[in-house]
Amino acid sequence: MSSCFYKASTKHRLSKGFTLIEVLVAVAIFGLIGIVSGQLLLRVLEAQQLGEARADKLADLQRALTLFERDVLQTADRPIRDEFGDPQPPLRLAFSGSLELTRHGWGNPLGWPRSELQRVGWELDGEGRLQRQFWNVLDRAQDSEPQVQTVLEEVRGFELQLLDANGGIWNAWPPDDVAAGLTPLQENGGEPGEEPPELVAMRVEIDLPPFGRIERLLPMPMPVPTLARGLPEDGTPDDGEGPGDAEPAPPDEGGEGTDGQ
**Cα atoms in the 13 Å half-sphere on the side-chain side of 195:** 12
Helix (H) or strand (E) holding 67: helix 20-73
**C-alpha 159, offset from chain centre:** 11
Query: CA 259, CA 66: separation in Å to the nearest integer?
Result: 25
- In three-state secondary structure terms, 190 is coil
Query: CA 169, CA 177: separation in Å to the nearest integer?
Result: 16
pLDDT band at 187 (very low <50, low <70, confident <90, very high): very low
Q: Which CATH number applies to 1-108+115-234?
A: 3.10.610.10
Question: Does the pLDDT of residue 67 top 90, yes or no?
Answer: yes
Q: What is the pLDDT of residue 3?
A: 55
The highest-confidence range among 24-33, 54-63, 237-246, by mean pLDDT, is: 54-63
Of the two residues 180 and 43, the one the predictor is more confident about is 43
148-168 in b/e burial notation, b at 16+ Cβ within 10 A? eeebbeebeebebbbbbeeeb
Cβ-based neighbours of 248, under 8 Å, separated by 6 or more: 78, 79, 237, 255, 257, 258
Enumerate the domain spans of the chain: 1-108+115-234
Burial class (CB in 10 A: 0-12, 13-18, 19+), 235: middle
Answer for the pair 149, 129: CB distance below 8 angstroms, yes or no: no
Q: What is the pLDDT of residues 80-96, one digit of tens each?
A: 988 888 888 899 998 88
Give, in degrees to the nearest 5, the angle at Cα 243 between 241 and 246: 70
Question: Does the pLDDT of residue 257 top 60, yes or no?
Answer: no
Burial class (CB in 10 A: 0-12, 13-18, 19+), 205: middle
- What pTM did the predictor assign? 0.65
Query: CA 87, CA 238: separation in Å to the nearest integer?
Result: 13
